[in-house]
Structure 1
Amino acid sequence: MSSLPPLAPWQHPFEVDPHARQRMRRTAWVVVLTFVTMVFEIAFGYLTGSMALTADGWHMGSHVAALGVAVFAYYYAERHAANPRFTFGTGKVSALGGYTSALLLALVALGLVWESVGRLLSPQRIAYDEALLVAVIGLAVNLVSALILGAGHEHDHDHGHAHEGRHATEAAHHHDMAVTAKGFGHAPSADPNYRGAFLHVLADAFTSVLAIAALAAGKWGGWAWFDPLIGLVGATVILYWSVGLARTSMRSLLDAEDFGVLEHEIVDRLQRDGLTRVTDLHVWRLGPQTYACIVTLDSPRPESAQQYKERLKDLSALSHLTIEVNRAPDRARSAID
């Protein structure tokens, strides 16, 4: 039995991202895979006395937590999709999940900096054989995880470029608009939550590759100092990724994104009769692939709001459109008088 209050006559449910459930399943599989590997590494680390194994296991644990946040964000958004308390739906939960993942990525990077600097100042004995084994296992797990999540990216990308135009020439003419209005929401980077999960997997794979290189240099070249130095390089790259993800998610949360191409397309369509003038326009993101628009129009011979909406009907990404129409003085006649 649902505990949600019934929708009022003026309220309506918002569409849930059609790819969200698939993304949630893929991310959940990665969580399970990473968790099993984490348990194996920690247990094997304690049994062999290898601190490298134990540390890498707990490092994977931080990514299990972050990926768990991504899964929870999808679950929460779907569960509360019909909750009227969310005025414009739960699409922004994805951005919140992405921002949280960015913070966790930054914490992982800072932890790597702390540990790497400590080992530079106070070198420790490294169990190279065990550590190399773990790095190879970790890389394999991360590559499989990246394939699982990457398949979701490709699926969305393919759908995102399936334009529905009247003619091929018209589709080509409106390519930039179509990417913004229709396909942009399907791009991998448009879902900050999924992008955050993908970056966590990439960060793990990246650090595994660096670890293999550093451990190989230490084992066969005697460069023990190379291991903490590579740790600093990896931390810098992960921190760079986290800043980019945080910036993207923050812009979505604060409605500070640039939709200039879409806005110009809306204005051009509404003003194409030569009489109508757009006097106020606001476009913002509701979710990874949906947008809302509020526009005010002036016209000496105004049409109905529904007629103006017909001009924008094929911009399917505009899931919530409000148009205010005002009668303005006939500027041509006023100029003659």
Structure 2
Amino acid sequence: MITNSLPALGHNHFFLGNDHQRNERKVWLVIILTAIMMLAEIVAGTVYGSMALVADGWHMSTHAGAMLIAVLAYRFARKHAGNPRFSFGTGKLGDLAGFASAVLLLVVALLIGWESLLRLQQPIAIDFNQAIAVATLGLMINLVCAWLLKDDHTHHGHQHPHAHHHSHGHDHAHDHSHDGHAAHAAGRDNNLRAAYLHVLADALTSILAIVALLVGRSYGWVWADPLMGVVGALVIVRWSWGLIRDSGSVLLDATTEGRQVQQEIRQALAPTDSQITDLHVWQVGPGHFAAIVSLAAPQPQAPAYYKTLLAPIHELSHVTVEVQAVVA
């Protein structure tokens, strides 16, 4: 029988990154820059007859909306991080926002591709010089925005300043822990990644618009402009599908990173005489994972013993250990 040797301590479920508020401010700045350039490109593309430029402008408008989703998700997650209604915190809200942004990006890509195909059938006259100037300015804005979002769009740092343990005087026990290590650098913030991909898509359409306009001006190939719209749409579809897949897998608790943590847990517990009877691992925030580990052993140790073995797995932010004695 395992005795109760540790006092119950309070704990929270703050699974947000150290850069959460900074990223929120950066996305707000990108929204402002994107909105300004969006209006300029839509107006200029309409006046000068460039489908690629108009597509780029409308593309930027949807990105501004998607980034608004991202920044509101950051704000909501931050304000409600300690709300007990969210059993494992609000760390996964960014993945929900990223999923929504990816769906929006996919829809816009399909619309751009369809409109470009229509323009291939019915090309219109283009004022190349003016359109090239505006597209170049749009590209410069996109590159600035990409630089703002690039430095840590793939990871966040995290802190877990406390630990919580409790065990019961039965033939099984539970141990909940929040280790004090930084989360693994591979932890991905899909909310910031979504904003970054929207900016990259803007930059891509700007580049394709410039190439199409230069070719059209030099050789009179007005069909190059809508053709570039089709190419850009195909590339953006691929990007958006990748984000849908990754953020959706987190929402469904089926991440590749989760499987890797499972393997690390099995390796960490392998030297003991216990057998894992049930194991669940899921992501609760960027770089944060929760785990429920059920063990059976002929001579079970206290949960704190197994927690010590799992401590080197820095991605584990919330661990529940259940130990049962094997009856001969």
CA distance in 1, matches of 2:299, 2:263: 22
Instruction: Count how many residue pairs are aligned between Structure 1 and Structure 2.
Output: 294
Give the secondary structure class of the aligned counterpart of 1:311. Answer: helix
Give the secondary structure class of the aligned counterpart of 1:184. Answer: coil
In the superposition, the TM-score normalised over structure 2's length comes to 0.83
Q: What residue is the counterpart of 1:268 in the other structure? A: 267
Give the secondary structure class of the aligned counterpart of 2:276. Answer: strand
CA separation of 1:270/1:106 partners in 2, compared to 1, >3 Å: closer, same or farther?
A: same
CA separation of 1:107/1:210 partners in 2, compared to 1, >3 Å: closer, same or farther?
A: same
Q: What residue is the counterpart of 1:169 in the other structure? A: none
Amino acid at match of 1:183: A
Q: Does 2:107 match 1:107?
A: yes
CA separation of 1:54/1:123 partners in 2, compared to 1, >3 Å: closer, same or farther?
A: closer
Alignment of 1:69-148 (within 5 A): 69-148=69-148
Q: What residue is the counterpart of 2:210 in the other structure? A: 212
Give ranges in structure 2 of 5+ residues lacking alignment: 1-8, 159-182
Q: Which has the higher contact order (CA 8 A, sep 6+)?
A: 2
CA distance in 1, matches of 2:271, 2:152: 39
Q: What residue is the counterpart of 1:202 in the other structure? A: 200
| Equivalent residue for 1:50, pick from 27, 34, 48 | 48
Amino acid at match of 1:182: H
Q: Does 2:231 match 1:243?
A: no
Q: Does 2:34 match 1:34?
A: yes
User: Cα distance, 1:44 vs. partner?
Assistant: 5.4
Amino acid at match of 2:186: F
Give ranges in structure 1 of 5+ residues lacking alignment: 1-8, 161-180, 331-337
Amino acid at match of 1:105: L
Q: What residue is the counterpart of 1:306 in the other structure? A: 304
Give the secondary structure class of the aligned counterpart of 2:255. Answer: coil
CA contact (8 A) 2:298 2:327 kept: yes
CA contact (8 A) 2:44 2:131 kept: no
CA distance in 2, matches of 1:292, 1:326: 20
Q: Judging by fraction of residues, say which structure has more helix.
A: 1
Give the secondary structure class of the aligned counterpart of 2:311. Answer: coil
User: Cα distance, 1:254 vs. partner?
Assistant: 0.7
Amino acid at match of 1:253: L
Amino acid at match of 2:31: V
CA distance in 1, matches of 2:109, 2:268: 47
**How big is each residue's C-alpha offset from its partner over 1:260-279, in whole Å with a ceiling of 9 and x where there is no partner?**
33212212222313x11111
User: Cα distance, 1:132 vs. partner?
Assistant: 0.6
| Equivalent residue for 2:186, pick from 173, 184, 187 | 184
User: Cα distance, 1:121 vs. partner?
Assistant: 1.2
In the superposition, the TM-score normalised over structure 1's length comes to 0.81
For the aligned residues, what is the CA RMSD?
2.2
CA separation of 1:42/1:234 partners in 2, compared to 1, >3 Å: closer, same or farther?
A: closer
Q: What residue is the counterpart of 2:16 in the other structure? A: 16
